[in-house]
Structure 1
Amino acid sequence: MLRRIIYIGLGAIGMSFGFTACKVPAVPEKSVNAALPAGFSNAQDTTNTAQVQWKDYFTDPNLAALIDTALKNNQELNITLQEIQISRNEVRARKGEYLPFVGLKGAAGLDKVPRYTNIGAMEATTNIDKDREMPEPLPDFLAGAFATWEVDIWHKLRNAKKAAVARYLSSVEGKNFMVTNLVAEIAGSYYELLALDNQLAIVKQNIDIQNDALEIVKVQKQATRVNELAVRRFEAQVLSTKSLQYDIQQQIVETENRINFLVGRYPQHVQRNPETFSSLTPAPIHAGVSAQLLENRPDIRQAELDLAAAKLDVQVARANFYPSLAITAGIGFQAFNPSYLLKTPESLLYSLAGDITAPLINRNAIKAIYFSANAKQIQAVYNYERTVLKAYIEVANQLAKLDNLEKSYDLKAQQVQALTQSISISNELFNSARADYMEVLLTQRDALESRFDLIETKMEQLNAMVHIYQALGGGWK
């Protein structure tokens, strides 16, 4: 019987399809253009730094401890993990939609029908047992099972489940991308903290040097070799440097708390060794070939999965134009007396029905959903292309930055060495009255600025090392 109903339904659907299938609106399509240049520097070496785990890439034990703690306690990352659970539950919900729904039903009621009606008259003349009339009022007891099933002829429900799976996998890649960004942000902030520590140490050294120079100037004033203006200028220089010290201390506090926030803890001292900063050098980078970005970058993989889900959404929306077949069935027992409830076949009831529906008139809502799904698919195509382009440009920029910063650092190191020597020379010339105090002040200021610039360049080098690792897609594996 069930097979016959299904065959009849399929035949009716085929007839209806002849009227409706040709009326599905045409929509513009867009193919993905994800062509990438062969490589970043015309090299075909497939060795890729992104394959290195973050614990092997960031070897500072204090930094590694911070990253490890953040991967457990970062609130934003934990929120994303719950979003993954939500996406997983959506997959379960979609999977259940194309399976039959089966339930149990129990009911009890009481019914009093007027005597002078057609139903009341029939009940009055009905003999049930030994010439007894039907009870009045009439009790009603029911126990049974029912099932409903939408036959997924056009794979609408299966495609919806596949789209949910793609979005679940997309949420996983989103989590991986967040891990990559989190690792990079903590590493960059940590190196910035080390740089600030070293700048603070330089400022304190310069304060001592400037205090010594101020004392010398005061002695020379007493000896009438310089005037009061020289003393005031040296005092102003010392006060300016001391003020700079507190600016840096505030930056240290803010950077520490930025790290504490990422780690998921309240403000506290961030364990570190500032003396290691000067010995840090960017690790060798292997960019590999550009096609590896498609595999290593979580954001590209996420955009690809979002695109796959959007394509499936279009198929789901398209299936709404076609007829649908739903089957309902039920079986159970019903009687006016509980003692008769399980008496068969008198109390047995069952039903089986098939419903065929197809949209014919006023399909504006279906069209709107279909057009919107297609527009979202085109958006997903553009988003995928944009993500790939952005990833390639980020890698190219960071590779160039690493090269240029290496050359700049060498030149600034020579500049620092020259200006550091010029401080001693200017002091000697000033003590022997062969240079005025302005030359001493300018030399000290230039030397301080050059040492600051050298530290900032070193910090930029380390940050470029972090960002190229991030751009290549490292840090999440």
Structure 2
Amino acid sequence: MRRLVLLLITVLLLSGCMAPKYQRDPGVVPQDYRFQSAQGQAQPDLNSLADLSWWQIFDDPVLQNLIRTALVQNYDVRLAVARVAESRAQVGVSRSSWLPDFSGTALYRREKVSRTGSNPPIPPEVSVTESLAQFNFDLFWEIDIFGRLRNLTQAAQADFYASEWGQRAVWAAVVADVARAYFELRTLDRQLEIARSTLESFETSRHLVKLRKRQGLVSGEDVAQADVLIHTAGVKIPDLERQIAQKENQICILLGDNPQPIQRGKSLSELAVRPTVPAGLPSVLLERRPDIRQSEETLIAANYRIGSARANFFPRIFLTGLAGTRSVDLGKLFTGPSSIWNIGPTMTVPIFTSGFNYFTLKSTQAQQEQALVLYQLTVRQAFREVSDGLVAHSKLEEVRNEQEALVASYELYSKLARKRFKGGLETFLTVLDSDRQLFSAELDLASVHLAQLLTVVQLYKALGGGWEPITMHP
């Protein structure tokens, strides 16, 4: 009896340590983000930009409505929902293997045997036809002593959690993609306004030059230079109109709609860029970023599959049984004498599997190693994205200030050049050159403003924000 107890304890201990004990290993986590001090934070703050909801970050009502629509209709979102449903069902499939499997069988067979198929042959007076009727219930139950099924179920559960975090990653990506495309659309709108306004200014200048040429005050070369500027601005307009239409089509696809015009909200100048961007603690990033959590759950699932593969080296014990009736006379099928039953354990022991169990274990261990590397790579990439966003947010503010000063300088330069030209102190070529450079600087300023907005989008996503579903919108 004592030996039996010791054997049972040993079995329980073995079954509990099949899967390696999981310990989170993201690699070295920095104390703070690189360039975080550039945002005016000497020490990392517990708060983060990602603590805000997406409707608090993107305060344009039109943009909010676009994001709201995308979070419901976007095809990637709908695929992610279906993947979560599939993973949830797979957990149920795996759990069902823990329970007994009952099945029923009903059989009726009538057959004729050969009279000459036996030795001696069957005499003519003996019937060669017979019937068999049977009705029974079958029991099959694998008793999971060594944790093979339990580890597979835990792996399926981890896969389910990974699919949920994957869904949140898709939400975050959709929010960022819609915001990015909308900001790009408003930038193109602004550049189109600049191009049209500049074209009108160039046409006015050309009219003035033509009047002066008639008076013999300027040469035909000045008129030709004015034409060059008009075509420079003119060629921009249809190209920007093309880009606007294509950007609208892109947004429609993100919304799950057919190509159509997109409603506008705030102008580019009204879309505010956050002056500071709190990043929070790097250690919190491991909990907040959905792609990191998805990668970690995939690693956990691989860890459990090692436990299932190890259990293949141990015996598998089944409880099988049958209860029912059997009779050659259909009328007596459900009488007492026709009843049958059997029940008992069955054990299979792997003796020689041609290396199948060994290589299965090695395969799961290699998969776990791959999952660990991918998890640590995802963490490193996340830290890089946050640091890239922080330095971009800081430096682009300086770039914008310089670009605004440059535009102001070209505006003054253009104003003075025109004044001196009208006074006969400057050639018209100087006026044209100042106008051309002002046009280019204004377009560049719109691009810099866009870059600032996109940096906030990128940093918000990098910090793990933006994945709250639409149902959480008040």
TM-score, normalized by length of structure 2? 0.89
Residue 21 of structure 1 aligns with which residue?
Answer: none
Q: How far did residue 154 of structure 1 move?
A: 0.7
Conserved? CA contact 2:60–2:265, under 8 Å: no
Alpha-carbon distance in 2 for matches of 1:411, 1:446? 15
Q: Which amino acid aligns with 2:450?
A: M
Aligned CA distance change for structure 1 residues 236 and 218 (closer, same or farther; 3 Å):
same
Q: How far did residue 116 of structure 1 move?
A: 7.8
Does the residue aligned with 2:269 lie in a helix, a strand or coil? coil
Residue 387 of structure 1 aligns with which residue?
Answer: 378
Conserved? CA contact 2:103–2:138, under 8 Å: yes
Q: Which amino acid aligns with 1:327?
A: L
Residue 338 of structure 2 aligns with which residue?
Answer: 347
Conserved? CA contact 1:113–1:120, under 8 Å: no
Task: Report matched runs for 1:191-340 at 5 Å.
Answer: 191-273=183-265, 276-283=267-274, 284-340=276-332
Q: Which amino acid aligns with 1:298?
A: P
Task: Report matched runs for 1:41-190 at 5 Å.
Answer: 41=36, 42-113=42-113, 137-190=129-182
Q: Map Cα deviations across residues 102-146 of structure 1 (whole Å, 9 max, x no partner).
A: 01110001244456888999x99xxxxxxxx99752211111111
Does the residue aligned with 2:103 lie in a helix, a strand or coil? strand
Residue 127 of structure 1 aligns with which residue?
Answer: none
1:36 and 2:35 correspond? no
Q: How far did residue 273 of structure 1 move?
A: 3.3
Conserved? CA contact 2:61–2:265, under 8 Å: no
Conserved? CA contact 2:63–2:265, under 8 Å: no
Does the residue aligned with 1:272 lie in a helix, a strand or coil? coil
Residue 423 of structure 1 aligns with which residue?
Answer: 414
Q: How far did residue 352 of structure 1 move?
A: 1.9
Conserved? CA contact 2:77–2:170, under 8 Å: yes
Q: How far did residue 89 of structure 1 move?
A: 1.4
Residue 369 of structure 1 aligns with which residue?
Answer: 360
**2:467 paired residue among 448, 456, 476:** 476
Using the TM superposition, name which of 413-422 and 401-410 deviates more: 413-422
Q: Which runs of 5+ in 1 are unaligned?
A: 1-6, 19-23, 125-132
Aligned CA distance change for structure 1 residues 261 and 116 (closer, same or farther; 3 Å):
closer
Does the residue aligned with 2:206 lie in a helix, a strand or coil? helix
Q: Which amino acid aligns with 1:38?
A: Q
Q: How far did residue 219 of structure 1 move?
A: 1.1
Alpha-carbon distance in 2 for matches of 1:157, 1:110? 42
Alpha-carbon distance in 1 for matches of 2:440, 2:164? 46
Q: Map Cα deviations across residues 171-202 of structure 1 (whole Å, 9 max, x no partner).
A: 11111001101100110110111111111111
Conserved? CA contact 1:84–1:168, under 8 Å: yes
**2:432 paired residue among 419, 431, 441:** 441
Q: Which runs of 5+ in 2 are unaligned?
A: 37-41, 469-474
Q: How far did residue 44 of structure 1 move?
A: 3.3
Using the TM superposition, name which of 286-295 and 355-364 deviates more: 355-364
Using the TM superposition, name which of 387-396 and 276-285 deviates more: 276-285
Residue 406 of structure 1 aligns with which residue?
Answer: 397
Q: How far did residue 339 of structure 1 move?
A: 2.2
Aligned CA distance change for structure 1 residues 45 and 119 (closer, same or farther; 3 Å):
farther
Does the residue aligned with 1:103 lie in a helix, a strand or coil? strand
Alpha-carbon distance in 1 for matches of 2:301, 2:457? 32
Does the residue aligned with 1:139 lie in a helix, a strand or coil? strand
Conserved? CA contact 2:115–2:128, under 8 Å: no
Q: Which amino acid aligns with 2:388?
A: N
Aligned CA distance change for structure 1 residues 111 and 408 (closer, same or farther; 3 Å):
same
Does the residue aligned with 2:65 lie in a helix, a strand or coil? helix
Conserved? CA contact 1:43–1:289, under 8 Å: no
Using the TM superposition, name which of 280-289 and 99-108 deviates more: 280-289
Aligned CA distance change for structure 1 residues 159 and 137 (closer, same or farther; 3 Å):
same
Q: Which amino acid aligns with 1:77?
A: V
Q: Map Cα deviations across residues 44-69 of structure 1 (whole Å, 9 max, x no partner).
A: 32011212111121110000010000
How many residue pairs get aligned? The number is 448
Conserved? CA contact 1:293–1:473, under 8 Å: yes
Using the TM superposition, name which of 370-379 and 427-436 deviates more: 427-436
- Residue identity over aligned pairs, in percent, reads 28
TM-score, normalized by length of structure 1? 0.89
Does the residue aligned with 1:149 lie in a helix, a strand or coil? strand
1:465 and 2:456 correspond? yes
Alpha-carbon distance in 1 for matches of 2:93, 2:119? 45
Conserved? CA contact 2:60–2:271, under 8 Å: no
Q: Which amino acid aligns with 1:92?
A: G
Using the TM superposition, name which of 428-437 and 37-46 deviates more: 37-46
Q: Map Cα deviations across residues 75-106 of structure 1 (whole Å, 9 max, x no partner).
A: 12111211111111111111111211101110
Alpha-carbon distance in 1 for matches of 2:114, 2:239? 93
Alpha-carbon distance in 2 for matches of 1:240, 1:39? 48
Does the residue aligned with 2:102 lie in a helix, a strand or coil? strand
Q: Which amino acid aligns with 1:203?
A: A
Residue 471 of structure 2 aligns with which residue?
Answer: none
Residue 129 of structure 1 aligns with which residue?
Answer: none
Using the TM superposition, name which of 353-362 and 136-145 deviates more: 353-362
Alpha-carbon distance in 2 for matches of 1:193, 1:455? 12
Alpha-carbon distance in 2 for matches of 1:359, 1:435? 98
Alpha-carbon distance in 2 for matches of 1:134, 1:101? 42
Does the residue aligned with 1:355 lie in a helix, a strand or coil? strand
